[in-house]
Structure 1
Amino acid sequence: MALRDPLPPDEVAARLTRLDGWSGDSTEIHKTFSIDYYTSITVINEVAEAAQELQHHPDIDLRWETLYFSLTTYSAGQRITELDFLLAERIEEVAGRYTAG
């Protein structure tokens, strides 16, 4: 299976159980982190580097004390693919360095 091939809904559901705090369905996965505003800027910059490496970019919403990431693969018809899970794992790595919950 290629990185941009849509994953079956049951596989998406199973893999979401292995990502702490992530939820969604076969069209979008997302997570909200509680993290201060200024640290969020650093997290966003580091996630942007990872996204560029993967050539797969998240939707990001920054609010006071809240950082929200949403992932889908637009080129796969707004379906979840392996790329979404790869990027979610990278987001977890980055946010974890800044004690984001």
Structure 2
Amino acid sequence: MSSAEVETFRTKVPEWTVADSSSRIERTFRFRNFAEAFAFVQKVAELAESEGHHPDVSFGWGYVTVSLQTKKIKGLHENDFIIAAKLDEITKSG
């Protein structure tokens, strides 16, 4: 994906940042406590399994950072942005 294509897709998920020379997107989600963060990690895992697309995830007290990249191509694909939008939707719906 070119940098211009990445930026076009990123406008649909504006809270995500582009990293590593446009080869990855990342977002840190904030929560009130560890339990809420962990519950979100479980939702991320469920989505990843159902989509067959597995992000890198780190979490701790009150935060979850999700990093998306299509590892097979070592860069970004439209699917990364679709997963990002679905994760954004999960946080909006509770």
TM over 0.5: yes
Say if 1:40 and 1:62, in contact at 8 Å, map to a contact too: yes
Q: Does 1:72 align with 2:66?
A: no
Q: Give CA deviations for 1:45-101 in whole Å, capped at 9, x if unaligned.
A: 11211111111101111021111100001101x200011011111111112233xxx
Structure 1 gap ranges (5+): 1-6
RMSD: 1.3
Q: Does 1:30 align with 2:26?
A: yes
TM-score by length of 2: 0.86
Q: Identity of aligned pairs, percent?
A: 27
- Pairs aligned (count): 91
Deviation, structure 1 residue 9:
1.6
Q: Which residue of 2 aligns with 1:12?
A: 6
Q: Which residue of 2 aligns with 1:45?
A: 42
Amino acid at match of 1:41: F
Amino acid at match of 1:8: S
Say if 1:51 and 1:58, in contact at 8 Å, map to a contact too: yes
Where in structure 1 do 4 or more consecutive aligned residues deviate above 3 Å?
none
Say if 2:9 and 2:78, in contact at 8 Å, map to a contact too: no
Structure with greater contact order relative to length (CA < 8 Å, sep ≥ 6) = 1
Match for residue 55 of structure 2 among 51, 54, 58: 58
